[in-house]
Structure 1
């Protein structure tokens, strides 16, 4: 694709690269269309009175307004009354600077980001089992070498199409793809075996697979003895997960459970991958742990072509959670409540460890507390649109409206920006340098192709301007290279050690895998070859048991509701809904129903239907498909307004990760009668 934007010729062409092998999805091919989109923000906007219109303003006025609002909030309440909400699409440099800004310039503990709703359950489970969180602890090219690949709660054919090249290569070599998903997705249709469980029962399925391997004597006993701890308790727990009982619970046939376990246990190379379908539950950490237990019991982690991994959901989903924009973290994936970590990072920042605030609360709890007696009264949002993407979205929208000050930095007027008191126009991907870290832990360069349009600033410039107005005790550089050099120092010695990663080294090769502590030493494409980064070098198995969804079905709400993505849209749709080709491919939201359910409701293809839960409702056209379970309905979450899927979703959260239960709640579905059928008023 070739575009001319602001006089600059921008050409999007394939590049041979190990991760995507030169492939892009439709969203990638069309990304440049947004650079000069008519909806592009090129001047700050301010609101003169509550509920009044947004009007154009200069940068000085806009930043002064933000700084004055923050100072007024401090004076009336305290430092924690100002909060920050970041995004998994920010570059490493911006994520790092945002965490530093919150802790130093604002002095608040209240910062988190939308990545909490993406991979936090897998991250917590990985830390608990392996001592480290890296989505794939091996290069993605390993997938093509697997003889069996179990894919749980993922639909990369629509969400990550270039990844399918590796899966296709695996199958061409004779490997088997097994998919676990309540829907017959585009990925499931390509599988050799599809397990279609009731939503929320993946943990039981994982325990049943381990049960089969245990009973049939297919475990790697030497690996368990030499490289792990905790198996005895796990063995006692999974002994109760008879395949027949799990079939009753999940709907997955005994024969399929047994075949899957054998396909994993009887080959030399096997991979288990989880994604949002397994993780976005109030028991997501335990569910991922169950699949990690299975991988460890089979001796998979650390072997080429084998292991456990998690698929990333956002552009910088890995790097975005490594350098400080999470509520409990400091750069380098350090814990903010670790005295040694606080001392190291404070030294890099030039402040005292005592001045750094403690851990905050996870994303949903933070948003749900906004404007309340005990919660923040001001919020700064960078790279996120929680009005559409948050669970129980109507409640979150109400919380945002209750704030004394809402500031949004974005390049389009998102639904969240429409509520803001101040909107700050910032640069896009092609207009700023930086780095991102992909699902393999490979640090990549992102290069500016042109300067931002007149009137637009980078996020780093926004943070520097605010820090100056707030009399920050330290400087905030605006040059991404300078910020990255500081990030390297701050991360040195931490789990995600970038000290040896330089822009020059990234560009001289196909990226650099962390941890990489020495600029002249090796990086780490494959983790766990000899040991795990735990105190004793062993991985931890942990016994976990199935428990029901936070909200069971009942007579009033007899159906299970689940959400997901479609090929042509992305996240909250702020960008993709503005691209003509993507809008034509997926113009509106929909509600997917099984034909039997549609028949009971008297619904035909395209009829408007209403999905109601205890929290809200959505309305969209019906899409009738035999590929979904009769007891389950599905809707994509990319649309706002009446079709907003997250008006319905449950805000119950995992007690370890803070992940909301996006993937299952109880609903009922109603046909929306045409006006001609309705009773007269």
Structure 2
């Protein structure tokens, strides 16, 4: 089975070999990594065992309806009829926007594109968003505003080796994208100075030359300190800022007025270390900045990313070899998933649903009147709030587990329980699926063909390696057949997944994320193609912004970013800062990796990292069960002493549910620009359960 890993955004290629013992019929599996430019033939432990959840997980094999609290198998015909009748009745009683659609960043480009079309054409609802809102929305919105384009990496991955200084902000590549680590180690071996910004020590910070253990939520303020030093030391690229940016005078005045001592106090980083970081980056001939969820999953994540982009622009380190910015995408198709219509405000190709020209063009591709297209909806968590208020009465969830991935999980559980009808399409029985009224069995990655776009903006083709088991169907086929049942089938007539991609190519043509020049034949022959790729035969743009930015006068936008504190502050009742993240052996809500025996046994339960000094204050011993409480709820996990974490901070991973679901604790304040929740900072108390 030739395939690629379903997990992170590197999208490593591999071959899974299944051999059956003729005596007892049992299967054994072996996995061979195969070459692609991003992974260079590497696999991490998650990729090596990714097949296990496909073959050993509790697969959903038949449509099932909940009756008297139990799921019973029903036919596909009955399932489609039930869903269509329920959603139609809700639309007639409460209006079409009473039904919402909730997607996922693991869907192929074809399925993501079709889900957006399904919501707006088949259901005719404005309420669609996806779990990528919690992954990339801060970096995406900042990239569009500052640079004019949101692509994960502005240059090709090979440029990492050419960088003389690399800033890794809020990203733990060693555990989240391990197969990328050799690129950074190669750069370091040739003399690159690596700066890691993270409140805790990780495999990534241990690789760095300098670790800035910033106070959670104060990243933007830290960058202001670095920018002020660049300005004071004459390390601003005056030619670049004059010719290729706008807003320099305002930023210069803002930075001149800042006080470095105050910044040091706010961030917990000394002036000396801030200066060392600024000088290393400012004096380097080439350099790159990478951000990820540690920076972005904050209520000021949008502005924080814009400040990191200030760092790039003030030094002119973009649009040339060894220079650029990268938002390290978390989900396998987090990049492509947001380009083609799953987000509340977007149409395919990064077109905007409220732009009349964009609406008219996409409507012409879809064969409908532009007036039929609904307007902009709301973000993923705000859909949960609307369900809680019963403004959304029915919900269709595809390839996502919102009960675990949203903040303030107790409210989300209450919201889902209030729905009149909940449908979940998935291939495993997730915590959200357990709450559903109807479950539709979908295919897993080994059975599902389509394209995915990795964190570079390189489009890759994943072939289906085996037939679908039981009665499971590909996501795109489920959507087409549901549209038929809803009486909108004429807009969803495709015989194969490639037909959908060809329509996507046309729908994206002329847009920011232009896929028109990419074909399945090219992807098979060339292994992958960067977007934008506007014409057949076009090589794809490997490095963005070499000559200009797609903004007025071709100039990028410098931004004045104020120092400010996170939305929620510690106090006597909740004296510690909780931050969340991932571990090497698990992925997102853990729904897939917890079904893999080899991955599950590496981390069988959740845990809390805490400094021994802090633990002593609260009579907590190492490896004991502790209670963590926030203003929203309480969980219980096992303690792990970590002398390298900040004494005011604890860390809990995000991969478990039930009474170990860290999102029971996180608060639901949202970034005003991109609607990203502030997962990385909330106030908690800790206590021993003994």
Alignment TM-score, normalising by the size of structure 2: 0.96
Pairing 1:395–2:411 present: yes
Alignment of 1:452-491 (within 5 A): 452-472=468-488, 474-477=491-494, 479-491=496-508
Alignment of 1:205-284 (within 5 A): 205-284=222-301
Which residue of 1 is the match for residue 670 of structure 2?
A: 653
Pairing 1:534–2:551 present: yes
Q: Give the CA deviation at 1:546.
A: 1.9
Separation of aligned partners in 1, 2:18 and 2:331: 25
Alignment of 1:91-110 (within 5 A): 91-110=108-127
Contact preservation (8 Å) 1:477, 1:483: yes
Alignment of 1:523-562 (within 5 A): 523-562=540-579
Which residue of 1 is the match for residue 529 of structure 2?
A: 512
Q: Give the CA deviation at 1:506.
A: 1.4
Alignment of 1:433-452 (within 5 A): 433-452=449-468
The 1:669/1:230 distance shift into structure 2, 3 A limit, reads same
Contact preservation (8 Å) 2:388, 2:411: no
Separation of aligned partners in 1, 2:579 and 2:282: 31
Separation of aligned partners in 2, 1:462 and 1:288: 38
Alignment of 1:590-669 (within 5 A): 590-669=607-686
Q: CA RMSD in A?
A: 1.3
Q: Give the CA deviation at 1:346.
A: 0.3
Contact preservation (8 Å) 2:328, 2:455: yes
Which residue of 2 is the match for residue 3 of structure 1?
A: 18
Which residue of 1 is the match for residue 444 of structure 2?
A: 428
Q: Secondary structure at the match of 1:12?
A: strand
Pairing 1:503–2:520 present: yes
Which residue of 1 is the match for residue 81 of structure 2?
A: 64
The 1:453/1:621 distance shift into structure 2, 3 A limit, reads same
Contact preservation (8 Å) 2:57, 2:595: no
Which one of the candidate residues 39, 42, 60 is aligned to 1:23?
42
Q: Deviations over 1:533-571 (max 9, x none)?
A: 113211011111121111111111111010000000000
Equivalenced residues, count: 670
Q: Deviations over 1:311-347 (max 9, x none)?
A: 0010001000000010000000100001110011000
Alignment of 1:30-429 (within 5 A): 30-49=49-68, 52-373=69-390, 375-429=391-445
Contact preservation (8 Å) 1:146, 1:175: yes
The 1:8/1:451 distance shift into structure 2, 3 A limit, reads farther
Separation of aligned partners in 2, 1:41 and 1:181: 39
The 1:478/1:402 distance shift into structure 2, 3 A limit, reads farther
Contact preservation (8 Å) 2:529, 2:539: no
Alignment TM-score, normalising by the size of structure 1: 0.97
Q: Give the CA deviation at 1:34.
A: 2.0
Extract unaligned runs of 5+ from structure 1.
674-681
Q: Deviations over 1:478-512 (max 9, x none)?
A: 52100000000000000000000011111211311
Contact preservation (8 Å) 2:57, 2:428: no
Q: Give the CA deviation at 1:38.
A: 4.8
Q: Give the CA deviation at 1:17.
A: 2.1
Q: Give the CA deviation at 1:10.
A: 6.6
